[in-house]
Structure 1
Amino acid sequence: MNRRLALTQLAALCAATASPAAFAQPDKAITIVVPYAPGGTTDLLGRLLAQHMSPLLGRTMIVENKPGAGSGVGAAHVARAAADGNTLLVATSTTLAINPWLYKQLAYDPAKDFAPIGMIGAVPLLVVVNPSLPVKTIAELVALSKSRPGGLVYGSAGNGSPHHLGAEMFKAATGANLKHVPYRGSGPAITDLLGGQIDLMFSDIPPALGHVKAGKLRAIAVTSAKRQPAVADVPTIAESGQAGTKDFEAVAWQSVVAPAGTPPELINRYAEALAKVMKEPALRARLEGDGFEPVSAPMSPAQLGAYQRSETERWGKVVRASGTTID
């Protein structure tokens, strides 16, 4: 009898352990890891997702910032986390599609270490110039860069950043003569742009928007496929008519992933909650007002995985063409 009871209890324990319900611990918070410092676009997105997804999941969600190595520190942390549904990552195009080409040694495998959940949206870049530069259009910018022996100087948030690679993609498409100066973040680059130490920048919209409205910077184009509500009067690069830019698009993107091996039932539950959140009109209006482009239609985990693979190939070509590597 005792042996039978022990076997019954063992079977029940195994069943409970194997059940996805065992991973959904309502008394334990879900941690959303943001692989960047507080205050940036990714941090804002993580906090908004925690706020809006928590009621749908019936779980407390908290944000933990783990910056460093171009989002690599936070990504590696999540890659090593237990696949129990209690740890998620706000992963960017840098995390999943660019870093594999930049770093000679990466502490995680973007293709194997994560389970895709869903897309949040895109971060278009704004081409801004110092007002002293005599250009108001992309065509004028390209022409001026080619007319100057040393070309024009652009700043970025750092080597391998979307700002850097977006500008390199633009150079390859148009033949513009642009020289790169990397900074440690967008803030210092914008400061030098305001001071005239550099000529232009491919910037996130939020940090540049106030300066544009104040007339301290001039916005001449956005890098997305369509115009952005936050700067509705600014045309896309593709609208410029400049040779090589007909289908131009260079945007960073943000998604949510979990450690590989997280039960599919939990992945699907989180994907459904994310899809509902991204349809909320108030949230979409908030994000668009900040220069973010929310996903237009929900992307399933499988679709996000396919998109990540295609983006890895696309950005790989850009990184190789730029010759940028990071030890």
Structure 2
Amino acid sequence: MRLLRWMLVLLLLAALALGGSIAWWINHPLPLAGPTAEVSIEPGTPPRDIAQAWVQAGVQTSPLWLYEWFRWSGQARRIRAGSYVAGPGTTPYQLLQKMVQGEETLEHVRLIEGWTFRQWRAELAKAKSLKQTSAGMNDAQIMQALGSPGVSPEGRFFPDTYAYSKGVSDLTVMRRAHQALQRRLQQAWEQRAADTPLKSMDDALVLASIVEKETGASTDRGMVAGVFCNRLRLGMPLQTDPSVIYGLGERFDGNLRKKDLLTDGPYNTYTRAGLPPTPIAMPGMASLRAAVKPDVTKALYFVARGDGSSHFSENLAEHNRAVDKYQRAASR
């Protein structure tokens, strides 16, 4: 009997010691690998992955401890999506409350469909209260930092409005947009038409970027994609002006000349068949869907009507008549 009482006392003391250790840890500042640790949480991210993300960002503790704390608190499911910063003195308790309550003051930056990566960087450079970590980095270094070494940044960020807390690095916002694009591209690719001429998700992204730049009226997006898919099947050049313009870069002065169409280059879709080597802009979800599942059509040509919409033709003779009609109307 006496032995049993001693065992119970020892178990109680151990429980109290453990409880005290846990209470100390929850309210003790977390060690950081750097001045701050930044994490972006997307909607639906599991608490276990959130804990792991904090450790990968530089919080020097066990991801299992963080996860168990989130779970044991009963607030794991209340963690909100967003960008968060843990600074010196942040305790596990404060870290969880930060994510549950959300940041009280958020800034926003918007990535527009059809923008190039250069335009995206310029927008981030002037974004309010955003730490400019990438200012001295080239494109390759940025993609390396985002976990996609050797990948061109063009078209690799999803157009959307991104909220961030003050002092967050621009790389954190870029990472969110990059990861969002990867998810959306995967979703679109899984819905591709059985007879698509596209061979990979990268092909789909490239075509979607062209569709984004070529479409004036949203109702034409599926038809524009259908024309380009028909041309790919037949081995015809895509003959898309936005790709040539992209290849000219800063040399483009607003006027696309005949010599530009005749000068060969990797982005000249008049002199080369197939898709250009990279996307030419940031496509939105509608363009991604259109690229992988275009409208069924026999059209091989289209020309702008001048009101934002396009006229589609199945043969060259009809196309030439349409070009004559709408270009003559535009010149009046």
TM-score range, shorter chain: under 0.3
Provide the TM-score with structure 2 as the length reference.
Answer: 0.28
Provide the TM-score with structure 1 as the length reference.
Answer: 0.28
Q: In terms of Rg, which structure is larger?
A: 2
Which structure has more relative contact order (CA 8 Å, sep 6+)? It is 1
